[in-house]
Structure 1
Amino acid sequence: MSFRDQESGGEDAGRTSSSSDLRKPLLNTGSWYRMPPAGGMMGSRQSSLMERLGSSAFSLRDVAISATLCTLIVALGPIQFGFTCGYSSPTQDAIIADLGLSLSEFSLFGSLSNVGAMVGAISSGQLAEYIGRKGSLMIAAIPNIIGWLAISFAKDSSFLFMGRLLEGFGVGVISYTVPVYIAEIAPQDQRGALGSVNQLSVTIGILLAYLFGMFVPWRILAVLGVLPCSILIPGLFFVPESPRWLAKMGKMEDFEYSLQVLRGFQTDITAEVNEIKRSVASSRRRTTIRFADIKQKRYSVPLAIGIGLLVLQQLSGVNGILFYAGSIFKAAGITNSNLATFGLGVVQVIATGVTTWLTDKAGRRLLLIISTTGMVITLVIVSVSFFVKDNITAGSHLYSTMSMLSLAGLVAFVIAFSLGLGAIPWVIMSEILPVNIKSLAGSVATLANWLTAWAITMTASLMLNWSNGGTFAIYAAVSTMALIFVCLWVPETKGRTLEEIAFSFR
């Protein structure tokens, strides 16, 4: 059957599907815009909605404002994500001194967030599928709040470890749900920019942890970590649920209301409504996906691309570099490593902000190619500079030059990473996975990302102790593999609807 054939019959199939064929959501989180059913047909959708909403409709009539506001509210989740990642760096010495921890115990504390995130990643797809995108974010916020409070009041390592695990679980759910929600609510010409806000918010969270960590005690810093999710929970009641999820659950009236709120009350959404209905009707005809079906091109190719990008993102060594940035700066001869690490965070935020602006203009694929190429070049420069430093006399002019070169290369690497490989893999993962395997495949891809991040974080210190130059040479080789992978496999998704992207893999 051609796509045009599906178009002609998709809407009728959506209307005639019996309620027994639909998977009902387990939780209805509600929204401010929910209205009682109205009589009559939806042919005059805009006028009927305007009549029922009255003057309140004018507050969100602009598509850019509406989608952007929703994105900014859910972006509190990634800010929490980044704050969790950045918390351990400025607090290491104080926590070890106050609680009498050994270095290995603190290393375990740092890595437990990755362990919790892996558990959260496994459950994230099913939570988002059965409870909804908003419901899963609410559930993710609760263990984050409890975790930060446990760390703040910790008297020994047990509460510290428990809090870190709870934080990690919430972050694991957030890391999958937020990019998927943004991709499903954003207009196609803004999806890249709004999707990149996810990674931008992560970098802002890291930067805030670095900044406040220089001025407040570690317990107060943990209390500050409660704020993003504490604001997120009430904020979620003021944003619409994902229209595509509502359509998949068979809540067709809610689906149309949600989409109208997101697109503006003066916008004709008929074409988009029909396209989503066709896609949902087509996915219902293939509700049961067997393991053997994954071998089909329509499933295997997008799944391989999604997992490949998220794994290569972490194998580039970025988490290990950022986590041990202070030690690397010291090895490069920088005395004030905390200030240098904060400066690196500022650079990362600015570069990711540029990516947010460029994603829908330059395209995902081009930015990924530029990003990975820059990462290869800068990592080779850092590797060579460390190799040279290890073989010359400390204090010489060449030694000082190599120290500055390694520092410049490290900053340039963070810029190159932030321009593409930092944000875009999450954007593409949320765009290319077919709707009927998105929950399972998204969980697997997110789990692979967190598992790789944990492995890199655990091995980075050992590798840096073995050889600074050798470590960066290995990361350069992996970045070369990422460049080849992007050139051969990754398609351009700029300017295409989610339904068009899914159809292209058939």
Structure 2
Amino acid sequence: MATKDLEKVRYSEKNGARDPLLHGKVDEGSLKFVLLSTFIAVCGSYAFGTCIGFTAPDQEAIIADLDLSVAEFSLFGSILSIGATIGAITSGNVGDFLGRKRAMGLSSIICLIGWLAIFFSKGPISLDAGRFLTGWGIGIFSYVVPVYVSEIAPTSIRGGLTTLNQLMIVLGISFTMLLGIAISWRGLALHGMLPCIIMLLGLLIIPESPRWLAKVGDREECEKSLSKLRGKDAHISYEIAQIQESLDIVQHLPKAGIMDLFQKRYIRSVIISVGLMAFQQCGGVNGIGFYASEIFLAAGNSSAKVGVALYAFIQIPINIMTSFLIDKTGRRPLILFATSGVTFACLLTGTCFLLKDHQILVEWVPSLVVFGVVFFISSFSSGYGAIPWVIMSEMFPLHVKGVAGSLVNLVHWVLAWLLTYTFNFLFVWSPAGTFFVYAAFNVGAIIFIVMLMPETKGKTLEEIQASLNQM
């Protein structure tokens, strides 16, 4: 039935009845509602950023106020990744079982409880419990937010809207670091609650993902949701038929488990999504970001404040630029540009430390290292940060998206923890060697992208999955 409907709509398209939302002309009223829905969703991304940026400006204050040892504070900082790993493992199943909206609501509540525990902390136990809970919440957010946005967005602007996930993470990190200079750590915990409260209120007015509603068999609500997102006068029959045809193909299949992802029909999607996320993390972003001040001081800068401020600010305009460019240039050119940039930055920074070791051009090294690290995050923000999440949200059909998202999310958080944990050991071994190791991984990423990553610009989610199965 769905296939006949689709053919009927395709025939009508040949006679001029094309859905404007699928082919580049977006109705102003419906676009505003899509943007509102996206904004509410990416409040979860901002919440993600506030958790990442919380410890950087307040380490000394928290240690002094709660009389913590360095080991106790280290546990407090790292336990976020443990909570996020658990959130990542459960994120796909939570998103599939509860729906995208309720999963975001649950994550907001978990984060709120975590921030309250941190705010009222009198010792390390409640502090660690709160940090763990915020990690669990953002672990779910990191999957469900880009998936929701990709499932509600018109094809013509899907890439740009999905990159807002990364932009809001960056804004959350940057504003949290700056606020931490001016307000107490308990006040900063209150700031962390704000995006969660906005999301909980906003979820009352935005629609559920039409693709998830179709997946659970609620055709009436699916059509209502899509009508809200595309406008009352939009012709949604083509998109409905495409969604239904895709579901008809897979509805006879059993519920997907982790081992099902390694079947021939999904293995290419798994390799691409997991590979991009693995290379993104192994390229050094979390090690460099978490310990930027240590890098600047080791290079010979008398103060790390200028470098850290540049590192925080430069990401914002570049991520905004990326949101506009991704649907114009395509995913592949943008991520290749970004990976080439981070490779150059790692080679430059590594070479600077090598020169310092041999006492060559020592007076130039501090400034060049700041330039190298800032160039690294600039290049990373121009596509390497956002595009792996965009690709993850586009690669998989609905019936395996949950388990696939959990796998990709798990890889992200495990490697994020590993890179953060090992950076100091590598840096003590050799500052130059650390950056050359990261450069090698980034060269591997360039080769991987050229050989395996497809271009998804301008294709519906169903068309992307169909083309992958034909390769």
How does the TM-score come out when normalised to structure 1? Answer: 0.86
Q: In the comparison of the two structures, how many residue pairs are matched?
A: 452
- SS of the residue corresponding to residue 384 of structure 2 reads coil
In the alignment, which residue of structure 2 is the partner of 1:42? Answer: none
Aligned to 1:226, the other structure's residue is in SS state helix
Name which of 442, 455, 467 aligns with 1:492.
Answer: 455
% same residue: 42
In the alignment, is residue 269 of structure 1 matched against residue 236 of structure 2?
yes
Gapped runs of 5+ residues in structure 2? 9-18, 20-26
2:3 to 2, 7, 12: 7
* Shift of residue 292, structure 1, vs aligned partner: 6.3
When structure 1 is superposed on structure 2, of 336-345 and 168-177 the one drifting more is 336-345
Contact 2:287 2:420 in 1 (8 A): yes
Partner residue in 1 for 2:284? 317
Matches within 5 A, 1:262-341: 262-289=229-256, 293-341=260-308
Spell out, residue by residue over 1:344-372, the C-alpha distance to the aligned partner (whole angstroms, 9 max, x if none). Answer: 11101111111111000000011111111
1:63 deviates by: 3.2
User: 1:155 and 1:340 mapped to 2: Cα distance?
Assistant: 34
CA gap 1:210/1:69 in 2 versus in 1, 3 angstroms: same
Task: Tell me the secondary structure at the aligned position of residue 334 of structure 1.
Answer: coil
* Secondary structure of the structure 1 residue equivalent to 2:182: coil
Give the equivalent residue in structure 2 for 1:145: 112
C-alpha displacement of 1:343 = 2.2
2:417 alignment partner in structure 1: 454
Change (3 A) 1:100 1:11: farther
User: Residue 193 of structure 2 is aligned with which of 226, 245, 253?
Assistant: 226
How much does 1:154 deviate?
A: 1.1
The corresponding residue for 1:241 is 208
Q: Distance in 1 between matches of 2:315 and 2:46?
A: 14
Q: Deviations over 1:452-494 (max 9, x none)?
A: 0010111112212222111111110111111111111110000
Cα offset, 1:11, TM superposition? 9.8
Secondary structure in 2 matching 1:286:
coil
- Decide whether aligned partners of structure 1 residues 300 and 80 sit closer, same or farther in structure 2, where only a CA change above 3 A counts: same
Which of 279, 304, 319 aligns to 1:352? It is 319
How much does 1:133 deviate? Answer: 0.2
Q: Where does residue 436 of structure 2 map in the other structure?
A: 473
Structure 1 residues 243, 100: CA separation in 2 closer, same or farther (over 3 Å shift)? Answer: same
Question: In 2, distance between residues paired with 1:334 and 1:265?
Answer: 59
Unaligned runs of 5+ in 1: 13-45, 47-59
Secondary structure at 2:415 match in 1? helix
Query: Structure 1 residues 290 and 217 mapped into 2: Cα distance closer, same or farther (>3 Å)?
Result: closer
d(CA) in 2 for partners of 1:11, 1:211: 55
* 95-104 vs 72-81, greater mean Cα deviation: 95-104
Q: Give RMSD over aligned pairs.
A: 1.9
**CA offset digits 1:47-73 (Å, max 9, x no partner):** xxxxxxxxxxxxx96232221111111
Deviation at 1:290, TM superposition (A): 6.5
Q: Secondary structure at the match of 1:89?
A: coil
Find the structure with the greater CA-based Rg.
Answer: 1
Match of 1:104 in 2: 71
Shift in alpha-carbon separation, 1:338–1:101, aligned structure 2, 3 A: farther
Q: Distance in 1 between matches of 2:89 and 2:383?
A: 26
Q: Among residues 150, 154, 163, which one is paired with 1:187 in the alignment? A: 154
Given residue 54 of structure 2, which amino acid in structure 1 is its aligned partner? Y
- Residue 86 of structure 1 corresponds to 53
The C-alpha deviation readout for 1:440-459, integer Å capped at 9, x for no partner, is 11101101100000101111
Report if aligned partners of 2:5, 2:241 keep a CA contact under 8 Å in 1.
no
Give the drift of 1:105: 2.0
Q: Indicate the SS of the match to 1:8.
A: helix
